[in-house]
Amino acid sequence: MRKDLWTWLTGTPPPKDALEKARVLVAGPTGVGKTTLIRTVVGAPVGKVGEGPPQTPGIEWLGTTEFPVWFADSKGLEIIKGEAQVDDVQSKLEGWSSEQRPHCAWLCIQADSARILGEADEPDEAKRLRGTEGELGRVLSRAGIPVIVVITQADINGPELEAMRNRCQRVFDFPHHVVPICAEPRTGNGRILIPAHGLDALRRLTLATLPAPLAEKTERGWVT
């Protein structure tokens, strides 16, 4: 059963503990590493990893009483045809209560998708990214919610990484920032191939989107 984008965004209000904390919407297709990223940031096994493709779209709020941020983990964004509903959602966002509204959004895409995004022969996955994810990012940005594009499972450095960052900035016209990360070390043959990286930058840029009093409170409790 397909829900509309507005219901997907607002159908599950945040828990009471989240009302006085920073709130981050984490969006992206299944398998991009959203829950793993949230678990790494929170430092607790919140949510479930590797559940398989969702049958219906929705939001699951993840966090702990100790951590100063609650995350709205998206489920099934790829099911939604968001580009056809932008105007309707845009008008409804004006009435979105401040208690439910996220302070910022992380729009997650895999490095493999970012690598070919915007190319003339890009596959269907990249076209979908420009569609559903792109329209969601524009809707949130126009509503005054800062959007950070997070390139997951990214290499640690090099010209290709910079090219991916620039490509995302060009194809997506809404990001406040583009941050390549690797939430957990990538290993092979018993050794670390790519160390975890990018989380400090993601923390710093997220804190910069928060109102000053909330940012100060969040910074004290968000230890990397």
Q: What is the set of domains in the chain, with CATH numbers? A: 5-221 (3.40.50.300)
Does the pLDDT value for residue 130 go beyond 80?
no
Whole-prediction pTM: 0.86
76 versus 13: the higher-pLDDT residue is 13
- Reported as a single tens digit per residue, the pLDDT across 60-118 is 899 999 999 999 988 766 655 544 555 556 666 766 777 778 999 999 988 877 766 65
Q: What is the mean pLDDT of the chain?
A: 81
Question: What single-letter amino acid sits at 102?
Answer: P
Considering Cα of 74, then 78, then 80, then 83, what sign does the dihedral take? positive
81 versus 176: the higher-pLDDT residue is 176
